[in-house]
Amino acid sequence: MAKVKVGIIGGSGYTGSELLRLLCKHPNIEVIAVTSRKLEGKRIWECHPFLKGFYDISFVSPELKNMEGCDVVFTAVPHGEAMKYVPQLLDVGIKVVDLSADYRLKKDVYERVYGLKHEGYRDAAYGLPELHRDEIAKAELVANPGCYPTGCILAVAPLAKAGLIERIIFDSKSGITGAGIKPTEFTHYPNLHEAIVPYKVTNHRHYYEMVQELEELQCDVKVSFTPQVFPGSRGILTNAHVFLKDRIDMEEIRRMYEEFYADCYFVRIQNEARLSWVRGSNFCDIAIFPGEDRVVVSSAIDNLVKGASGQAVQNMNIMLGLDEKTGLDFPPLFP
Amino acid sequence: MAKVKVGIIGGSGYTGSELLRLLCKHPNIEVIAVTSRKLEGKRIWECHPFLKGFYDISFVSPELKNMEGCDVVFTAVPHGEAMKYVPQLLDVGIKVVDLSADYRLKKDVYERVYGLKHEGYRDAAYGLPELHRDEIAKAELVANPGCYPTGCILAVAPLAKAGLIERIIFDSKSGITGAGIKPTEFTHYPNLHEAIVPYKVTNHRHYYEMVQELEELQCDVKVSFTPQVFPGSRGILTNAHVFLKDRIDMEEIRRMYEEFYADCYFVRIQNEARLSWVRGSNFCDIAIFPGEDRVVVSSAIDNLVKGASGQAVQNMNIMLGLDEKTGLDFPPLFP
Amino acid sequence: MAKVKVGIIGGSGYTGSELLRLLCKHPNIEVIAVTSRKLEGKRIWECHPFLKGFYDISFVSPELKNMEGCDVVFTAVPHGEAMKYVPQLLDVGIKVVDLSADYRLKKDVYERVYGLKHEGYRDAAYGLPELHRDEIAKAELVANPGCYPTGCILAVAPLAKAGLIERIIFDSKSGITGAGIKPTEFTHYPNLHEAIVPYKVTNHRHYYEMVQELEELQCDVKVSFTPQVFPGSRGILTNAHVFLKDRIDMEEIRRMYEEFYADCYFVRIQNEARLSWVRGSNFCDIAIFPGEDRVVVSSAIDNLVKGASGQAVQNMNIMLGLDEKTGLDFPPLFP
Amino acid sequence: MAKVKVGIIGGSGYTGSELLRLLCKHPNIEVIAVTSRKLEGKRIWECHPFLKGFYDISFVSPELKNMEGCDVVFTAVPHGEAMKYVPQLLDVGIKVVDLSADYRLKKDVYERVYGLKHEGYRDAAYGLPELHRDEIAKAELVANPGCYPTGCILAVAPLAKAGLIERIIFDSKSGITGAGIKPTEFTHYPNLHEAIVPYKVTNHRHYYEMVQELEELQCDVKVSFTPQVFPGSRGILTNAHVFLKDRIDMEEIRRMYEEFYADCYFVRIQNEARLSWVRGSNFCDIAIFPGEDRVVVSSAIDNLVKGASGQAVQNMNIMLGLDEKTGLDFPPLFP
């Protein structure tokens, strides 16, 4: 079978390099174009030495003509940037998985939350395959979810689907790669060493994705969200403190989760959720802890894989009619 | 002025060595006896090489006669052990600060929570000076609070005092020294590297201290607590997700905190709560973040100082009629 | 083609679990037996939850009969233990890759260095494929090299082969998984946090492997070695400080390395040697830095892959006549 | 006694904030002026929140008039900057401890190594009190040593003084604060997590300080130096691999060290050199390991204390005729 031709717009950051890591061993894919404005002309491994030996091509500039011949393009650029490329790509018949925030929210919500006028709005499937597999299969454009919403939504979806939730408080801890590849005061090593740093404590924009998705499952759900970083590179560990409308048997809850995720290869119900049990992989591990008046559900993902590029490849697989596991069916790197 | 003579029962663990660190520069104190069953006869710095040059004495066995001449004794042994020493010490007129859990809870609660019969119960002041300074001043026995309760209670006490709280969820992250000096699977380096590990997710015993103290401030408060460890040695960062009974102005809340802690040298209201801003010191830094339907209050302490040995020294100072800052009035080690 | 049947003696430790990680996706292999005395009867993923979904078999006890049907067996048990299994396996015609130290040194050297009588000595190929590919191809027993020797020897082999070395000082820094899965004071988190801990500073047993191998390349080479641990899970970064007999042009040295490793897929000459550029992979990255009177060569490996289980799989591939890259041809996990 | 008035030029970086930490509890000192061009007018604790409660003054601009009334000034600015202030300060009779590199090397060496014309050269004492206490006592200007040279020189000075050294290779590992407070690609968290990064492998400028000092002790000493960073905030661990001219008894070497450092409070001979045994303190711990043909000496310092600001305070104490320990006589923060 001829390989599907893939392009990546934005190949110099962490989600770009992670796409390159995952796609180089994908059996049905050939990456033919990777863009970077500032690295144009350089070999991919000159920017990403860990990939030495895996790619021979060089970065090109992010123009439409450089995506010619692509069947699918990943846009791995900041929000506000993606909307400049996506409509053009769709218009020439290229399928798109957008890793930015530009197509995740309804237009008006997006414009309010991100403080930007949306210049190239299109309908997109929300790329959480565990909830939207069929829509994704039919979509030309998939909005890849934010890293936090992926772990948060998967942690509570079965309970929301059953309408059981009174209130959820998500307390999430992310590795530092979530802050991107550009050095800032926030990512300066001594500011993070031996630290837990809450930020945007009550006003992170990923909150709106969670609400949008969870309200679809249970219209009256109340959600709070606090993100923070922990001293590590990869991973998001979320504690979902869930207060239920009624008491419910723990065995029943566990059964609900098992059933809800029965066909979801990448969700595993475990006794604990450990970042080292999912690192480098596309798995979302979930553990459920009963309390007196609440349930705590912990979820663990690798923020760059299930929280970004791995999920993007999973979405691409579904859009192409491939098994969603293709190219992603390998174990985590433990410890 | 003659120096106060101090003994330490249990000098080989982290709280013991931290007491030794803090007391060696205390202007009014002389440490005359430190016990360790297994290190008996060894110089203190042979066990704690970081203290080389600061102590000349050797470990003695933990018998009452070895505490002769002491005015104050710190018991820094596991719960269940402390109760064997405390009554004896009190009976010969020695003041005691107990760092174990043995005297923090009411007898019946203790026996239920710790699953032990309490063989030597005595009344004790709960050693959180910001709430109980007067009782501590009069006490012969002070029960030094747990590390988690210290950071959690201080984070919300002003709101509880004002009767404003509907529900609190404490999500706390502790450094690994909280698990003690003994190697276990839990403290094995590869199990903690790049990890956030929730444990005793809905059933940690420190919960009962929080409830006991907070209910004294507001009888109808609802409390949840989840602890976890982060990859660092020292520090506890707590997010208190507080849902209030009524909307309340943020300026008002901040004013409430400033007022509540006006005479509390060791509590600082900051714009952020960072572990590196309190490390090695007895400070508890508190930051307040308004949300739409909740307030998030973050508190940062060093678990071995304000969360254990520093607070114990603060309690001793108060018991002895000294300024509570004596020997503790130095800045944190940043970064 | 029928799959090769593989057994693993010692499946509960880090090298065992790493073999399981690597072999589950190997296209020509089926793992049919994994032993653990203490986990006998348990599913593999009960001990290694990160592998949930990848293996259905359970641990068996380490007896010869449980290896029946295996074409190749990996022995991943401590030194002194491996020698009890290896001769039996060879005698029934099973090929063996031994990950312990038992077959790396000449018998008399082994007995002196490890202070043990060798009860089951056999000739083995030293499993560093970059130096011994042909011997390995013909061997029934391969002694997989130590983690430190792998990175050290590869760093200087081209210079030794050319007879240029006056003296080498290896200063190596290893991640903590090198100390094994069993909790000890050495691996206790607070003892390693923000630490660099030299140990066995002038008397580590891996030294003898280095000398044995390097003397084969250059009989008069002088070698020193100091190991230490750094706060990380995986990786060994070695600085080889090499003093040369004569001045030599840097371009010439670089050419020598390129040529020496021309057919070695898993050795990459880079401008820097970074652990994050090899993590999780079987690569050994090498960087060369010229000095006034010395050359510093840095090498980076993942201690559990190229330093242990990955190299073991590479050796197995060669023994079986497969391409040495089979099952190992994937990129590192960066960052 | 009237307090000595102290100024700090350059108070916003790590060495500046560390001076502030150490000086606020110094019994003979009052800090009256701290400069920062970009923070002029801000309270010190607004920039350094960990110091909240310890200083009331605000930053001033770095002009000579703002140093009026100072008896001693610390210049904690980059090299090339310090030389603009130092001569002016000396000319108005203010004693100076310069923490930059500007006065550490002979003028011609400085200009060659730093590639700068030295516009304000003055003679200075090299501020390593263990070697130059008498010169420092008489000096108006003290050049505070580099962080690496401090740990390296102290590790081998007794052997050099005795003329025993054939060759030394220093392999040093530094915490990231050594790279300064400004975020760069080098200090970006994901580039350092689980990493050991050699840099300026054979050409770090601190090398010239080591050579200058060690050649004064032993004219024919051969020195090599390689620095690297490890994932931690503070500390430098140096392995000095020392090849001796003749075999020498280990007991003899240990005795030599004990004697050489007999009057040096801040040098401790230990059985191991651990960063956690010196953290936050002005100690340099030294451990000696005999080898067959070499001695390995490990030294551990806190790079911001003995490697910078603590040593600067020690120098100031000596210049003022105070006990060198004043304000520095407290134990490390372990663990």
Surface-to-core class of residue B251, CB atoms within 10 Å of its CB (0-12 exposed, 13-18 middle, 19+ buried): exposed
Shared domain check, A196 and A114: no
Is some CB atom of chain B closer than 8 A to the CB atom of C177? yes
Write b or e for each residue in B267-297: b if 16 or more Cβ atoms lie within 10 A of its Cβ, otherwise e.
bbebeebbbbbbbbbbbbbbbbbbbeebbbb
Report the DSSP beta bridge partners of residue B254: none
C134 part of a folded domain: no
Mean of all residue pLDDT scores within chain A: 97
Residue contact C187–B192, C-beta within 8 A: no
Shared domain check, B158 and B36: no
HEC string for chain A: CCCEEEEEECCCCHHHHHHHHHHCCCCCEEEEEEECCCCCCCEHHHHCHHHCCCCCCECECCCHHHHCCCCEEEECCCCCCHHHHHHHHHHCCCEEEECCCCCCCCHHHHHHHHCCCCCCCCCCEECCHHHHHHHHHHCCEEECCCHHHHHHHHHHHHHHHCCCEEEEEEEEEECHHHHCCCCCCCCEHHHHCCCCEECCCCCCCHHHHHHHHHHHHCCCCCEEEEEEECCCCCCEEEEEEEEECCCCCHHHHHHHHHHHCCCCCCEEECCCCCHHHCCCCCCEEEEEEECCCCEEEEEEECCCHHHHHHHHHHHHHHHCCCCCCCCCCCCCCCC
Write b or e for each residue in A92-117: b if 16 or more Cβ atoms lie within 10 A of its Cβ, otherwise e.
eebbbbbbbbbbbbeeeebeebbeee
A316 part of a folded domain: no
Backbone φ/ψ region at D42: left (φ over 0), alpha (ψ -120 to 50), beta: beta
C137 part of a folded domain: no
Spatial distance between the Cα atoms of A202 and A224, rounded to a whole number of angstroms: 8
Cβ-contact C318, C133 below 8 angstroms: yes
**Residue of D200, D201, D242, D299 for testing the chain C interface, max C β-carbons within 10 Å:** D201
Tokens read off for B137: 């001043």
Task: Supply the pLDDT for residue C293.
Answer: 85
List strands edge to edge, sheet with D141-143: D29-34, D4-9, D72-75, D95-98, D141-143, D125-126
**Is the pLDDT reported for residue A245 higher than 80?**
yes
C279 part of a folded domain: yes
Residue pLDDT, tens place only, A126-148: 999 999 999 999 999 999 999 99
Percent of chain B with pLDDT over 90: 98
Q: In which element (H, E) is residue C317 found?
A: helix C310-319
Of C175, C198, C298, the CB nearest to D298: C198
Local confidence band at B292 (pLDDT 50, 70, 90 cut-offs) = confident
CB < 8 Å to C201, chain D: 239, 289, 291, 296, 298
CB < 8 Å to B270, chain D: 49, 52
Of A184, A185, A193, the CB nearest to D232: A193
Nearest CA in chain C to D236: C196
Q: Which domain holds residue B62?
A: 4-123
**Is the pLDDT reported for residue A237 higher than 90?**
yes
**Is the pLDDT reported for residue A292 higher than 90?**
no
Is some CB atom of chain B closer than 8 A to the CB atom of C194? yes
Spatial distance between the Cα atoms of A8 and A177, rounded to a whole number of angstroms: 19
Percent of chain A with pLDDT over 70: 100
Cα-flanking dihedrals φ and ψ of residue B9, to 5°?
A: -95, 110
Polymer length of chain A: 335
How many Å lie between the alpha carbon of D187 and the closest alpha carbon of chain C? 14
| Closest listed residue to residue D167, CA positions, set D273, D248, D240, D227 | D240
Whole-angstrom CA distances from C1 to A191, C27, C29, C30 are: 55, 10, 10, 12
Shared domain check, D256 and D174: yes
Q: Is the peptide bond before A335 cis (omega within 30 degrees of 0)?
A: yes
Whole-angstrom CA distances from B315 to B130, B132, B138, B178 are: 10, 10, 11, 20
Is some CB atom of chain D closer than 8 A to the CB atom of B190? no
Mean of all residue pLDDT scores within chain C: 97
Cβ-contact A136, A319 below 8 angstroms: yes
Spatial distance between the Cα atoms of D241 and D218, rounded to a whole number of angstroms: 17
Shared domain check, D174 and D292: yes
For the residues A212-220, what does the mean pLDDT come to? 98
Shared domain check, D85 and D157: no
Spatial distance between the Cα atoms of B197 and B188, rounded to a whole number of angstroms: 12
Percent of chain A with pLDDT over 90: 98
Task: Supply the pLDDT for residue C237.
Answer: 98
Tokens read off for C223: 């070698």
Task: Supply the pLDDT for residue D292.
Answer: 85
How many Å lie between the alpha carbon of D280 and the closest alpha carbon of chain A? 15
Shared domain check, A12 and A102: yes
Q: Is the peptide bond before B335 cis (omega within 30 degrees of 0)?
A: yes
Local confidence band at A293 (pLDDT 50, 70, 90 cut-offs) = confident
For the residues C181-196, what does the mean pLDDT come to? 97
Task: Supply the pLDDT for residue A74.
Answer: 98
Shared domain check, B277 and B154: yes
Domain with residue C241: its CATH number is 3.30.360.10
**Is the pLDDT reported for residue B147 higher than 80?**
yes
C203 part of a folded domain: yes
Local confidence band at D92 (pLDDT 50, 70, 90 cut-offs) = very high
A-facing residues of D in 3-42 (CB < 8 A) are 14
Cβ-contact A117, A111 below 8 angstroms: yes
Task: Supply the pLDDT for residue B293.
Answer: 85
Residue pLDDT, tens place only, D228-279: 999 999 999 999 999 999 988 989 999 999 999 999 999 999 999 999 999 9
B131 part of a folded domain: no
Residue pLDDT, tens place only, D117-171: 999 999 999 999 999 999 999 999 999 999 999 999 999 999 999 999 999 999 9
Residue contact B193–C233, C-beta within 8 A: yes
Residue D3 neighbours by CB distance under 10 Å: 13
Q: Give SS3 for D1.
A: coil
Tokens read off for A103: 């197509």
| Closest listed residue to residue B124, CA positions, set B206, B212, B203 | B212
Shared domain check, A220 and A161: yes
**Is the pLDDT reported for residue A29 higher than 80?**
yes
Is some CB atom of chain A closer than 8 A to the CB atom of B271? no
**Is the pLDDT reported for residue B1 higher than 80?**
no
Tokens read off for B98: 């107990």
Shared domain check, C272 and C237: yes
Backbone φ/ψ region at B321: left (φ over 0), alpha (ψ -120 to 50), beta: left
* Its pTM surpasses 0.95: yes
For the residues A294-323, what does the mean pLDDT come to? 98
A73 part of a folded domain: yes
| Closest listed residue to residue B244, CA positions, set B220, B216, B278 | B220
Mean of all residue pLDDT scores within chain B: 97
Shared domain check, B270 and B160: yes
Count of the separate structural domains present in chain C? 2
Cβ-contact C48, A271 below 8 angstroms: no
In sequence order, the 6+-apart residues with CB closer than 8 A to the CB of B280 are B234, B302, B305, B332, B333, D280, D333
Considering the candidates B47, B147, B152, B284, report the single residue annotated as catalytic.
B147
Shared domain check, C273 and C192: yes
Shared domain check, B187 and B101: no
Local confidence band at C292 (pLDDT 50, 70, 90 cut-offs) = confident
Q: How many helices, marked H, and strands, marked E, lie in chain D?
A: 10, 13
Identify the domain boundary among A58, A89, A123: A123
Cβ-contact D145, D327 below 8 angstroms: no
Centroid of chain to Cα C331: 18
Question: Which subunits have 3 or more CB–CB pairs within 8 Å of chain A?
Answer: B, C, D
* Beta strands at C165-174 and C236-244: parallel, antiparallel or unpaired: antiparallel
CB < 8 Å to C193, chain B: 176, 231-233
Identify the domain boundary among A107, A123, A139: A123
Spatial distance between the Cα atoms of B240 and B273, rounded to a whole number of angstroms: 12
Task: Supply the pLDDT for residue C166.
Answer: 97
Domain with residue D30: its CATH number is 3.40.50.720
Of C230, C239, C279, the CB nearest to D230: C230
Q: Give SS3 for C278.
A: coil
A273 part of a folded domain: yes
Local confidence band at A154 (pLDDT 50, 70, 90 cut-offs) = very high
Q: In which element (H, E) is residue C44 found?
A: helix C44-47
Whole-angstrom CA distances from D130 to D101, D135, D143, D209, D329 are: 19, 11, 14, 15, 16
Percent of chain D with pLDDT over 90: 98
Is some CB atom of chain A closer than 8 A to the CB atom of D335? no
